Structure formats: structure tokens, C-alpha cells
Structure 1
Amino acid sequence: MCRSKEEGGMGFRNMAKFNISLLAKQGWRIMNNTESLAAKATKDILRKGLIWRVGTGNNISVNCDAWIPNGVNFRLLSEVELMPDQFVSTLIDNNERIWKEDLIEDTFDEEDTVRILQISLADVPHDDYLAWGGEASGVFSVRSAYKLLQTTDEFPRAYALQISYRNLYKKLWLLNLPTKIKITVWKITWNFLPTRCNPRAWRLFCCALWALWGDRNLRIHEKKVSTGSEIGNFVIRYIAELDGLERKKLTQTEVKPKWRHPPRETIKINFDGAFDVHNHISASGIVIRDPEGAILFSCSEIHKGVPSAFAAEALACRKAVRIGVENRWTEVIIEEDSRSVINKCRSSDRDKSLLGAYISDIKQMMYRSKPFVFNHIPRSANTIAHEIATESLKSKVGIYLEGRVSEYAENQRLRESVREPD
């Protein structure tokens, strides 16, 4: 009952563990405010959830500390005897600010090697610091502490079997069906019903199961009998009714916002990142335009060892800011459709997420330059940068074009060059 819905439970909270998670929040405050007085009962959970973010690597033990994202307890899978007392700094080329790839491949097993090489390094080294590994933001939350407590328990074998159906439960709770139907199917699956279907058939299957259960209850309690055809027609009508409601929502479409010319004396830089999840490669797409909508230049860059789509967006943002700083334009607006990256650039707080190294570089560059304006825009207003990033990722080749864009983006450029009425 206390498991999450996608893991086969009902999503109810285990209040004892939830209370410990609330107490852990006080422990988090201890770490960030040395003058705070809070209970010491939460030290264990904090130790389990903390991870080092690599800056210089001078303070992080290779074998003893938690510093590997997505690793078991954020640590190496196995201790490396060749590095008994070594620090992570020995794995970093400080001149280039890149990982010593050959050394890492020769020292660690394949899985740890991949994880290490995907850790972001800032161009400008900063001190190592601790972050909360349970949240993508790197900031403590009661929710993630509760989840950490749940996963460290020893579950009965029956629950262990249910883990293999994680995707099935996730699909179940996302179906466009009333909750009463989904709960009925949830009850059936606890008998380990071996069914895996595509979303459309799965939806129909769930609705049919619910209808059969309802018919069974009518037969027993009200002595009403329905034929198979009647039950089948009921299911078809019910699904059609739900689809009709969905189509009605979709007809209420909005006019998609378009790219807008920047104010006078202002340069606008649009950026986007495209990500290849299988090969961990990304492409940054950049387009720079003046107040008349004329292209100053467009470019793209290919990056290897990228851990996520969010990292791809942050890399593209760093590239955009670097271009703005190097060209010393008086007023610069930087736009993209990733709200997360834009908000991180606007924030004055240290970013403790896995993107922290890139955000640190961005803020270092901004500190030495005139502040930029960061705007979040919808994808429809960032089309050219998106096309550049996507096509560059396909070809695995970067570009640099002065005064123009590639042919695949030319039609979009013409449409956006027309200035909207003031």
C-alpha cells in the first residue's frame, strides 16, 4: 500500500518514515547553517544521500567518498587498489579541464569509467562541494529523503517480484481512464497477471476487465445478466466517450508564439541543445540576430560524454554566453525553450545539480561582462536554433556560417525576418 503507484502500490505514505524525512530536513539545515539547533537523529540518512560535486577534486577520495552519479550509494562499484589514498584531482587534466580518459579507462571497470567521464567539469575550477543526491536540483527535499528510506529497507520477496513490472504500473496509472478502473486492474495485478501490452490495447484491456468485474457483481448481487456482446458494446461506447472528451480538449488550440525581433541596439542569441541518449553525444545550436532580424552568424558544436538532455541544454547555453562575452555587444538577450536552464542562469544561488559545473562557468563569464537578459520562450519561438542543433546532431558535424543559416533553416529565417507590428 505504501509503495509508489508505478511500483505496484497505492501511493499511501508510511508516516513513520515520512516523519524521519521531515526530521532529516532539519539536519540539512544544520549543514547549511552551523548555528542551527536540530536533532542529530538524521545523520545516517544525510550521509546516505550526500554526494560530492567535483570542482578541483582536491577534497574527494577516489575510493572512500560518494562522488559517482547514478552509482550504488554514489560510490565506485568496487574499490581500486591502485589508488588507495588518491584524490579525484589525480584524474583531471587541469590545463585542459578534462578527464584523463586513458588513465580512467585503464584504472576503472567499464561501468564506472562511463559514469566518471560523464561528470561535468567547469572550465574555471571551483571548490568541491556537497549536494543532495536524491534530487536532480542537488537540494534536499523531504520527498527524496522518504524515498531513500523506502529503498534501503529489505522488502519481502513478493514485492521484489513486482519490481519487474515497474513499467507496467507506470503505464497503468497514466492511462486515460477513470481511477476506479485503474484500481480494479491494480488489484488483479497483485496476483502477478503476466500481461504486457501497447498503450492503446492496454487501455482497452483495462476497461474490459473493469466492465467484466462490474458485470460479475451485477450477476451475484442483483441477478442481472448481460451477454458478451452487450459488455463489448458498453466498453466500446465508454472508450469512444472518453476519446470524444479528449478530442474536444485538443480542438481548443492556442496560437503558437513566434520569434520576436529584439529591441533597438540589442542583439538576440537563441540557443538549443539536441541529445543522443544512446551514444551520449549532444549538439549545441546557436543563431544570433540583430534588431532587424538579420543573421549575424549561426553555429553549432558537437559534445561527447554528455550525461543527459538537460546537460545538452546547459552546454548550449554556455556556448551562447561565451559568444555574447567575446563579441562585447552592449545589450544581449539570450533565449531558449528550457525553463530549467534559464531559471538556473537567473538565480543568484549556487547550483548544486549535475549541471552545476556548466552553470558555474556561465556565471563566471557573466561576472566579467555586462549582465545578460535570459528569457524562457516556447519551442515555436526557438525553431531555427532547434533545427541547427537537430541537424548537426544527425551529421555529427559542427558549423559556423557568417551572415546566414544552413539551407534547411532558410525558409524559417525568411518567415521570422518579417518584423511584427509594434
Structure 2
Amino acid sequence: MSGSEIARKIRNYLTELEAAKKEKPTIHTSDSYQQIFKRGKATVQFDAAFDSQTSTSASGLLAWNEEGKILASLAVLHSNIEDPFTAEAHAGLQAINLGIRLGINKMEIMGDSKTVIKKCQCFNTDRSIIGAIIRDIRNRKERYEEIMFSFIPKAKNIYAHTIATEALKRSESFYLEKGVPEMIRRELERRGLKPPN
């Protein structure tokens, strides 16, 4: 890693710390999450960004509760990804895992990949290239009292899309409760969009 990359990462980290002081979000780095949302209902939007030259992808997720308050934002990097469908399937798996991590028992998962959404909704054996990931998603559905997969147009999935594209561009994963990182807010504002609350 070059000196300029290290300096950029430090600047981003300091910016995130400054934003955290203002908004008081909680950042966790372990799996010991307080399950304060038990019995609550939440929505998780997911999207993926894919780079065919490096065979990498990033999953972008945004979760919020019934009142519209952000519960968490998440970006996860993946390597050895063959195609955009695999990238989207991994993002769907990350969405269901995020709900488990937050302790949610009723959830709607929304994404702009019709293929992944349809495969998650049906019960037939999936023999496609993403079949193993779809099976993992279906196996985790049992942890929920109620779960629904819904398709939304790409234009309405802009927050998850921005999280995924920025994470892939910066090669950075993150998990942030009760907010979105400052870098995502700045990118949304640059695109003329209002950041989520």
C-alpha cells in the first residue's frame, strides 16, 4: 500500500470519526450485537457492484425499521466472483445475514435483481451457477418468523447501489449502525440525492 493510499484511508477514518461524534452511531467489529430489534419488522435493500477485470464485487445494504429510521448500513467485499448474477446472489445472502445479526424476526428483503428475487421466492431446486448461494439463503429463512423477498426498480434502490459502488471503488468494507458513512453521504449529495436519515 502506497503512502498516498494510507493517507487517504486515514483521512476517511478521521472524517468517519467526526461524523460519529455528531450523529452518535454505534460501530461494531465483533459478532456480539445487542438484539434490541427482536420482534420488530425491518426492511433491507441490497445491491451489488461487480468488476469483471478483477473478479471482485461489493454488496451494499441498507436496513431500516417500520418508522423509517436507519438500523444499519453494510458493505462487504467478495473475491473470485464469476459474474454479476453471483455478485447479486452474494448481496442477497448478506441481506438475510444482516437481519439475523440485528436480531430481526420479520423482514422484507428488497433488491433490483429479478433473477435473485425470483429464485429466493420459489422452492424448486436451483441448479444454476448461483444455486448454492440460493440454498444458503433459503436455509437461513427458517430463522425468521416472517420473511418476504421483493423486487424494486434500480432507480428506487439508489442507496444500496451507492453503498456497493463506493465500497468496490474504494476496496473497503464497513458496518455502521444507525447511519451511513460520511463518504456515502458525500457521494449521494454529489449526485444530487438526499442522503437517508
Q: Is the structural similarity TM-score above 0.5?
A: yes
Per residue, is there more helix in 1 or in 2? 1
> Of 265, 269, 286, which residue of structure 1 is paired with 2:44?
269
**Equivalence for 1:365:** 140
After TM superposition, give the deviation of residue 359 of structure 1 in Å: 0.2
**Equivalence for 2:110:** 335
> Of 76, 81, 104, which residue of structure 2 is paired with 1:301?
76
Aligned-pair identity (%): 36
AA in 2 matched with 1:360:
R
AA in 2 matched with 1:303:
H
Give 1:18-417 correspondences, 5 Å limit.
Answer: 265-410=40-185, 411=189, 412=193, 414=195, 417=197
Q: Quick one: distance in 2 between partners of 1:282 and 1:386?
A: 12
After TM superposition, give the deviation of residue 352 of structure 1 in Å: 0.8
Tell me if the contact between 1:384 and 1:413 (Cα under 8 Å) persists in the aligned partners.
no
Per residue, is there more strand in 1 or in 2? 2
Q: Quick one: distance in 1 between partners of 2:74 and 2:102?
A: 14
AA in 2 matched with 1:393:
L
What is the CA deviation profile of residues 302-350 of structure 1, one whole-angstrom value per residue up to 9, with x for unaligned ones?
1100000000000010011011123331321100100100000000101
After TM superposition, give the deviation of residue 381 of structure 1 in Å: 1.0
Q: Higher relative contact order by CA 8 Å / sep ≥ 6: 1 or 2?
A: 2
After TM superposition, give the deviation of residue 408 of structure 1 in Å: 4.3
After TM superposition, give the deviation of residue 290 of structure 1 in Å: 1.4
AA in 2 matched with 1:284:
S
After TM superposition, give the deviation of residue 266 of structure 1 in Å: 2.4
After TM superposition, give the deviation of residue 388 of structure 1 in Å: 0.4
Q: Give 3-state SS (helix, strand or coil) of 2:82's partner.
A: coil
What is the CA deviation profile of residues 91-124 of structure 1, one whole-angstrom value per residue up to 9, with x for unaligned ones?
xxxxxxxxxxxxxxxxxxxxxxxxxxxxxxxxxx
Tell me if the contact between 2:166 and 2:184 (Cα under 8 Å) persists in the aligned partners.
no
Are residues 409 and 276 of structure 1, via their aligned partners in 2, closer, same or farther at CA, if it must alter by over 3 Å? same
Tell me if the contact between 1:282 and 1:304 (Cα under 8 Å) persists in the aligned partners.
yes
After TM superposition, give the deviation of residue 380 of structure 1 in Å: 1.2
Tell me if the contact between 1:333 and 1:372 (Cα under 8 Å) persists in the aligned partners.
yes
Tell me if the contact between 2:43 and 2:110 (Cα under 8 Å) persists in the aligned partners.
yes
Runs of 5+ in structure 2 lacking a partner? Answer: 1-39
Q: Give 3-state SS (helix, strand or coil) of 1:284's partner.
A: strand
Q: Quick one: distance in 2 between partners of 1:299 and 1:369?
A: 20
Are residues 294 and 369 of structure 1, via their aligned partners in 2, closer, same or farther at CA, if it must alter by over 3 Å? closer
Are residues 368 and 331 of structure 1, via their aligned partners in 2, closer, same or farther at CA, if it must alter by over 3 Å? closer
Q: Quick one: distance in 2 between partners of 1:286 and 1:340?
A: 18
AA in 2 matched with 1:356:
G
Q: Quick one: distance in 1 between partners of 2:176 and 2:73?
A: 5
TM-score normalised by L of structure 1? 0.35
Are residues 405 and 333 of structure 1, via their aligned partners in 2, closer, same or farther at CA, if it must alter by over 3 Å? same
AA in 1 matched with 2:111:
E
**Equivalence for 1:160:** none
Q: Quick one: distance in 2 between partners of 1:289 and 1:369?
A: 16
Are residues 363 and 324 of structure 1, via their aligned partners in 2, closer, same or farther at CA, if it must alter by over 3 Å? same
Q: Give 3-state SS (helix, strand or coil) of 1:372's partner.
A: strand
After TM superposition, give the deviation of residue 413 of structure 1 in Å: 5.2
RMSD: 1.6
Q: Give 3-state SS (helix, strand or coil) of 2:81's partner.
A: coil
AA in 2 matched with 1:366:
K
Q: Quick one: distance in 1 between partners of 2:83 and 2:157?
A: 20
Q: Quick one: distance in 2 between partners of 1:368 and 1:348?
A: 16
AA in 2 matched with 1:372:
I
